[in-house]
Amino acid sequence: MGPLNGYTVIELAGIGPAPMGGMMLADMGAEVIRIERAGAADPRITERVSGRGKKSVVLNLKDPSGVETLLRMVENADVLIDPYRPGVCEKLGIGPEQCLERNPKLVFARMTGWGQEGPLANAAGHDINYIAITGALYAMGRKGEKPVPPLNLVGDMGGGGMLLITGILAALLEAGNSGQGQVIDVAMVDGAAQLMWMFHGFETIGGWDPTQRESNMLDGGAHFYDTYECADGEYVAIGSIEPQFYALLKAKAGLSEEDFGDQNNKDNWPEMKQKITEVFLSKTQAQWCELMEGTDVCFAPVLNFKDAPSHPANVARNTYIEMDGVTQPAPAPRFSRTRSEIAHGVHGLGEDTDTVLGAMGFGEQEIASLRDGGAIG
């Protein structure tokens, strides 16, 4: 059983970072109950990865009896994840005030893009917008070209889902000491800003030009930190930052001291990059792997996510698993004693409504009455 065994999380159905947070909490042993609306898409189709290990309960939160059902569930929960825009839960009658009145130890985690307050709080947005105003998006891309979206990894997942989990775990620890719950304002824009901490530090010491792309050490400006095309059209990634690793790169790739000796001279980076580009085009990806993989060059082949699970390092670590016919990341991080595991595959819409409510003290006749009245599905 995972380290969160014994904790109960109510996750109001949403998209992006909230389902990710719920998934990871479930992987770590928490009972995660996803609240869906009647007529919603089947999670076995729409949540084929993030729905793993979760129970599915259908409630009509526009019905007073459905609202009361949720509030009674809150009395038995440790965490509620709110993925809605600011004020939606309050309008439904399930906001922090109502929930904490029922359960003073509840952690009420609010996951939004712009945050609960501020001039953009009620505006629509997506990952690309949240990272745009933090400087993260501006920094990504090639010199003289437009910024390139890094999938939705920085705002939704890193700045959203991971920040959500961090906040929830910290609040649970504090509640264990104080006996009091609290509301967490988790904003993707705040999380993306947090992820940029190192570059703010670099800029203060003259180590980063925030007005330029592909001009700094970690943005593809340096010849020793970039991706390169190979003879077969595939790519490799090089990150030979430290002098000893750079020396090994030169030795393995046959780079002359005359052309590549002055590693950190930025004025020479464009010329060195042009020359090393030609070098990597001389061999296939597999040939470069044979020459460099597993050495201190800081090397890896660039794989698409369909091929990634079959890489020997990922196979050896069981980084990926297959469940219900879907290849997906295995639970992480890895605990030595209370190991994380996936309790079960994705459940169908409302599959657990009766069993969850029954376990929380609702009688059979009461459940039947709620269903007849349209409060539950």
Angle, in degrees to the nearest 10, between helices 162-178 and 188-195: 100
Domain residue ranges in the chain:
8-195+320-372, 225-310
Specify the pLDDT at position 66: 97
Closest CA to 203 of 217, 192, 222: 217
Q: Assess contact for 159 and 130: CB atoms under 8 A.
A: yes
Specify the pLDDT at position 1: 87
Classified as helix, coil or strand, 206 is coil
- At 35, the pLDDT band (50, 70, 90 cuts) reads very high
Segment 45-65, tens digit of pLDDT: 999 999 999 999 999 999 999
Specify the pLDDT at position 212: 96
Distance separating alpha carbons of residues 269 and 264, to the nearest angstrom: 8
Mean pLDDT of 339-361: 97
Residues in Cβ contact with 357 at an 8 Å cutoff, skipping those fewer than 6 apart: 57, 69, 73, 367, 370, 376
- At 108, the pLDDT band (50, 70, 90 cuts) reads very high
Segment 254-300, tens digit of pLDDT: 999 999 999 999 999 999 999 999 999 999 999 999 999 999 999 99
Please list the active-site residues.
126, 156
Mean pLDDT of 128-141: 98
What is the third-level CATH fold of 225-310? formyl-coa transferase, domain 3 (3.30.1540)
Q: Mean pLDDT over all residues of the chain?
A: 97
Segment 197-224, tens digit of pLDDT: 999 999 999 999 999 999 999 999 999 9
Mean pLDDT of 70-96: 98
Mean pLDDT of 306-326: 97
Classified as helix, coil or strand, 22 is helix
DSSP string computed for 281-347: TTS-HHHHHHHHTTSTT-EEEE--TTTGGGSHHHHHHT-EEEETTEEEEPP-S--SSS-----SSPP
State the pTM of this model: 0.96
Superfamily of segment(s) 8-195+320-372: Crotonobetainyl-coa:carnitine coa-transferase; domain 1 (3.40.50.10540)
Look at the block and give the residue holding tokens 């891309």. Answer: 141
- At 94, the pLDDT band (50, 70, 90 cuts) reads very high
Specify the pLDDT at position 133: 98
- Looking at the chain, the number of H-run helices and the number of E-run strands are 16, 11
